[in-house]
Structures are given as structure tokens and as C-alpha cells.
Structure 1
Amino acid sequence: MKTSSLLVVNLIIWSVLLGSVLSNNEYITFNILALPPSVTGPESVAFDRGGEGPYVTVADGRILKWKGPTVGFVYFAYTAPTRTNKLCDGTNDLELGPICGRPVALSFNYKTSDLYITDAFFGLLVVGFNGGLATQLSRGFKYLSGIDVESYTGNVYMTDASLTFDIRNMAQPGFTPDSTGRLLKYDPRTKRVTVLISGLSGVGGPAVSSDRKYVLVPDYVNMKVQRYWLQGPKRNTNEVFLTNCTGSPINIKRTVNDEEFWVAVDNQGQQPTVNSEPHGLRVNGFAVVLQTAPLPQFLDMSVTVVQEINDALYVGSSHADFVGVYTK
């Protein structure tokens, strides 16, 4: 009886403590980092190893860097050698993508400070810490849509949204993705691209676990997250990781805590539900949802990324002219 009573007391204490922690974890304050005039589409958000940024991709072919509220966003890098400021600045016309570029996702190699980029028209690229024109590493894809660099090995994990359709097809009203999306690995030493998972539908941005044992990748249309094992007894196999996303997962980022992730969940095109607004899910490596962060300011937009740094969530969208910042 004494052991049982002690267990109950401990459970009550932990419940109170957990409730206190969760109540302090709510992101209730919202601010915006405004993009330059006429510029839209910050689909990806990244911070360098010094914590500077955010760096964002935008629809007119540039990567911009936030320099604080006094300066705002400044021009950092671009992906298309044919890009001109006169033609491209401020455009969101995808037909100009082959000229201006359309960078979609960003990820830093924190050992080298190189910024890796996936561009919907120019494939995989990289640019140094001084910015400028990015160097193309691999091409021939229909639409590279997501990226995560594993800094220890330098391996680049990226997603190819389709073997059939490009970003212009996917931007058409009523478009339904096919099931030819893939998770890929680029090895910077051999410069080879390897297919890890195929048959994904509307695939988004992947994330490597902090212990480098597996990669998580969204399966957007099927509203689930897949896990591909890099190490251990299940190495080179994949399995369903998460199904209770209450929407379509579109991008995954590691949190500041080891073995936890933020999943950006989009509800555009889904039937209204109790959790019909876009939101971020904080999950652990056991596929337990630890927190749901509503993103009501993005109700009429497609949320594409939720990135955590310094107790704040930075949220991007393909339709916004700002980066949203949620704080506790």
C-alpha cells in the first residue's frame, strides 16, 4: 500500500509539473518580419550556425537575409545565372522561373557554413557564407521540394515532389499530386544521388534525427510521415512514422531539443475538421505528439515551414509577404 500510495503521489506531482510546462509552452504572441515591397513566398526559413537570420527563399528567385528591424531583409544569394533584377525583382510569375529561378528550401551545413538550396527549376545548389550566385550541384529533376543537410557527414537529404509534374503544374487550381515523389540522398564526396524512398505523394521537406539514425519525410496527400532508417537493424528500410497529423504534413524541422521535431501541417484543400486551421506539431522520436501550436494568422494560406529558435517559432508560407514569428 505504501508503494502504491507513493506512486500515485509521484504521478500527481508529475502531472502538475507537466501541466505547468505545457501551459508555459503556448505561443501566444504574433509578430511579422515584412518582406521588401512586392516580394512574396517565403517557403523556407533557416538560421546559420551563429544564429543569424532568418534566411528565406522568395518567389522572385532570391534568398534574403533578415538583418534586424532597422534594416529588414537584404539580398543574400540567387540561383539562376540568367537572373536580372529588372526582370525578376518582385515577380511571382512561375513562367519566369527558368530565367529567374525559384528557390524552395534551405539548409545549412553547420560545419562549413555552406547554405544548400533546392530550386524548382535549377535543382540542388550551394552557396558560401558570403552569398552571391549559388553553384549548381545536381540537376535533371522535375521539382526538388525539400532539403536537410546532415552536417556530420555532409550528406544532403532532399525530396523530389514528382517525376511527372513541375511546380507550374502543381500551382494550377484543382491539381492533385501523383505518387511518384521520392526521398533522395546526395553524397558530396561522390556527387551521386541515391533514391531512398519512392512512391510518395506530394512530398515535402525531410529532417534527419539529431543522432543521425533516421530521416523523417512528409507524405502530404496521404497525411502521414514516413521514417527511413539510416542505421541500426532496420537500416535501409522505411515505415510509417506518424498518421495523426490532423492535416497534411508539408515540412519537418528539428527542434532545439534532441530527438524532437516540428511538423508544419497544412489544411488547404482538406475537409474542415476540429483542427482545420494550419498548425505546427511538436513530436518526439517515438511519434508522440507533445504539442500542437495553432497558426491562426495563416488561416487562408498554405503554411510551408515551422522553424524553432530562441523560444520562437518562425513560420513561412508560399503566399505570404512576411515571415510570421510566434513567441511564448
Structure 2
Amino acid sequence: MCNTLKSYHIHIQTNMVTLTPSLLFVVAFLYTFVVVYGQFSIFGKIELPPRVTGPESAAFRGLVLTEGPFTTVIDGRILRWLGPSIGFVDFEYTTPTRNKQLCDGTTDPDMGPICGRPMALSFNPITGLLYIADAYFGLLVVGPNGGLATQLAGGFKFATGVDVDLITGNVYFTDASLTYELRNTTKSGFLADSTGRLLRYNPLTRDLSVVLSGLSGGGGPAVSVDGTFVLVPEINARRISKYWLAGPKANQLELLINTTGNPNKIKRAGRLGEFWVAVSVGLYPPTPFFTPQGVRFNSNGVVLQIVSFATQFFNKTISLVQEQNGKLYVGSRLTNFIGVYSS
């Protein structure tokens, strides 16, 4: 196992350009810099089974004919949606210590080390393998038929996000802290730190390396379709950075966006080079009310669209905005359903 730390440098670049009226028109026409508000105004939801809560993350299997969503829940399971006539069924669990009688339906945060708490999912579309970030059991993988997952890397305090590089097959995942666990975050007097990390696991060599350290909070990374960079959110610092994996800027980190709220998991959007991030305004520093939003942006850090989920997720934080087949799937650890928004 390789634990060599790479330095964490943020380079902020500012380009001054004089825009004439004609150039402004061309820029607006070609790149649509005007932020789009609204759309995705039709709301539906996929209910979880009785007593089950916390769809923190979701994923879909397949490139053309997709299956899912698959979702993580508080009681330690990953569930698979088989349509309205069947609903959700058990698909995977992350620890052999999990007992269905003890764990199914539990919301006790102290049961996480026994039952597991998967936080994020990412399929490798070529192999069909599902990679899981579990808050207590680190990085795991499970085959197409589900069941007990295999631990690939453990010993982490608080794994929060995962994404597969579609080009290399490498798996990037985040742990939020070296000092606190998920269950500590709900305790009075909790203080976040800046000891989070981005890690890389190579399935071929089984090497694990630390790519970035000193991150402020977790969330979930997203690798670009061409594998040239990975985006890394920092919940508490309210920013998204771009770490270059290939090309002339390889191994460099750049600040991409300073967000108005706390960014959680990032997911690739439907259009090439675009992404969605779940943002909760007012989470940290804490305010009396939260405003959940989905923010769509491009690889240059230009915000293209903001969708408010304040009506259906009133005063709740969200962790996921996943675009699939023209719909937005919204996840929160505080609900018993996955929100589905369409236009």
C-alpha cells in the first residue's frame, strides 16, 4: 500500500478580457453563461421500504438500457429498485457482522460499525462491478449479483464518496477526516477539521495511494469522461477543485468554483463536460434553515443552472443530484424517499 502524500496547492487563474458588444453576444450564444433557474419542476418520488430512511447516494447500471436506481440507506444496505410493482429489494451489504433482525430499519448512528453505512456508489460500466464507499468499512466492491461486498481498503474514519475513472478503471474515493467518524457529526459540540483526503485505488495492481490531503470535509469526487481530471468538493470550505490526472497540468490542483453553500457529491451530467453537485446552503457554518439546490456547471467552472429543491426538501440537507434519462434524482440522509424531478 502506498501512502505517499502529494502536496496540495491551489492555483487561481484570472484572465482579464475586454468584451465588445458583438463579442458579448457571441459568448452568450455559444457558451450560455446566463444561469438558468428552475426547470425540473415536476416532482415525483420513489418511496423506500417501511421504516427505512437515508438514501444518501444512488447509481444506475448500464450505458444504454439502465437498471436502478440502486441506493444506500442508513441501516447499512444497498437497495435495488425493480419498478413500482415490486419496489426496492436487498442488493448488497458491506459487513459480515450485519444481522437483518438487528439492523433492518435501524436509525441508530452507533449501529454503523456493526451494520455498515454505505455512503456512495459507482458502477464500472465495463465490468459491471459496483464500488462502494462505506463510512466505517472504507472502499468495497461487489459483483453484478450483489450480496456481501469485498473490502478493498479499510481502516478509514469516514469514507464518503467514490467514482470510477472510465478510461483507466482506477477508483477515486474520499474520506472526510482522520479524526472523526460519521456518528460524531451529530453530537453536540462537534467541530469539523481539515484532514480529509482523496485516494486512488488501482484494481489491477491493488495499489492504494493518497492523491490529496488537507481537505475540509467529504462529499464525493467525479472523474471527467475522458479521464483527464477529477473534481473534488470540500463541504466545509464551500469550494470545488479540479485535480489534473493527465496532460500538461498533470498532478496540479486548481480552484474551480467557490460555492454559495456546502457542496456534497458531484456527478457527471447528461451533456459532455458538465456536472451536477448537491449544495446545501446553510449547513456549515450552521444557519436556522437549509436551502437545498442542484447546481449544474461545466468543466471550466461556469455555473449553467440552479434548481431549488426547497419545497419538497424543506429545511433538509441533500447529498446527491444524479441526472439520468432527462430526470434528476435527489438523495438526502433525512428522507424516506428519493426525489425525482422532470421537466
Q: What is the CA–CA distance in structure 1 between the aligned matches of 2:177 and 2:291, rounded to whole Å?
A: 27
The question of whether the paired residues in 2 share the 8 Å contact of 1:42 and 1:59 is answered with yes
Alignment-derived partner of residue 264 in structure 1: 278
Alignment-derived partner of residue 48 in structure 2: 35
Q: Which of 225, 242, 250 is 1:210 aligned to?
A: 225
- What is the 5 A alignment of 1:99-178? 99-178=114-193
Q: Which of 276, 288, 291 is 1:277 aligned to?
A: 291
Q: Which of 300, 311, 320 is 2:315 aligned to?
A: 300
Alignment-derived partner of residue 83 in structure 1: 98
Q: What is the CA–CA distance in structure 2 between the aligned matches of 1:260 and 1:8, rounded to whole Å?
A: 26
Q: What is the CA–CA distance in structure 2 between the aligned matches of 1:179 and 1:9, rounded to whole Å?
A: 42
Q: 1:20 to 1:96 in 2, by over 3 A?
A: closer
C-alpha displacement at 1:203, in angstroms? 2.0
What code does the residue aligned with 2:198 have?
L
The question of whether the paired residues in 1 share the 8 Å contact of 2:172 and 2:199 is answered with yes
The question of whether the paired residues in 1 share the 8 Å contact of 2:41 and 2:341 is answered with yes
Give the 4+ runs in structure 1 shifted more than 6 A. 17-21
C-alpha displacement at 1:82, in angstroms? 1.2
- What is the 5 A alignment of 1:308-323? 308-323=323-338
What code does the residue aligned with 1:144 have?
A
The question of whether the paired residues in 1 share the 8 Å contact of 2:296 and 2:305 is answered with yes
The question of whether the paired residues in 2 share the 8 Å contact of 1:56 and 1:63 is answered with yes
SS in 2 for 1:154: coil
What code does the residue aligned with 2:307 have?
A
Which of structures 1 and 2 has the larger relative contact order (alpha carbons within 8 angstroms, sep 6+)?
2
SS in 1 for 2:225: coil
Q: Does 1:252 align with 2:266?
A: yes
The question of whether the paired residues in 1 share the 8 Å contact of 2:35 and 2:305 is answered with no
SS in 1 for 2:218: coil
TM-score, normalising length from structure 2?
Answer: 0.87
User: Gapped runs of 5+ residues in structure 1?
Assistant: 1-6
Q: What is the CA–CA distance in structure 1 between the aligned matches of 2:316 and 2:287, rounded to whole Å?
A: 15
SS in 2 for 1:298: coil
SS in 2 for 1:233: coil
C-alpha displacement at 1:299, in angstroms? 2.4
The question of whether the paired residues in 2 share the 8 Å contact of 1:247 and 1:276 is answered with no
Q: 1:152 to 1:176 in 2, by over 3 A?
A: same
Q: 1:117 to 1:150 in 2, by over 3 A?
A: same
Q: Does 1:64 align with 2:79?
A: yes
Q: What is the CA–CA distance in structure 1 between the aligned matches of 2:116 and 2:23, rounded to whole Å?
A: 60
- What percent of counterpart residues are identical? 52
Q: What is the CA–CA distance in structure 1 between the aligned matches of 2:189 and 2:39, rounded to whole Å?
A: 35
Q: What is the CA–CA distance in structure 2 between the aligned matches of 1:184 and 1:173, rounded to whole Å?
A: 30
Q: What is the CA–CA distance in structure 2 between the aligned matches of 1:261 and 1:304, rounded to whole Å?
A: 14
Q: What is the CA–CA distance in structure 2 between the aligned matches of 1:141 and 1:9, rounded to whole Å?
A: 51
Structure number with higher helix proportion: 1
The question of whether the paired residues in 2 share the 8 Å contact of 1:126 and 1:136 is answered with yes
C-alpha displacement at 1:89, in angstroms? 0.4
The question of whether the paired residues in 2 share the 8 Å contact of 1:28 and 1:327 is answered with yes
TM-score, normalising length from structure 1?
Answer: 0.91
What code does the residue aligned with 2:60 have?
F
Alignment-derived partner of residue 95 in structure 1: 110
User: Gapped runs of 5+ residues in structure 2?
Assistant: 1-20
Q: 1:77 to 1:9 in 2, by over 3 A?
A: closer
Q: Which of 25, 48, 62 is 2:61 aligned to?
A: 48
C-alpha displacement at 1:236, in angstroms? 0.9
What code does the residue aligned with 2:329 have?
Y
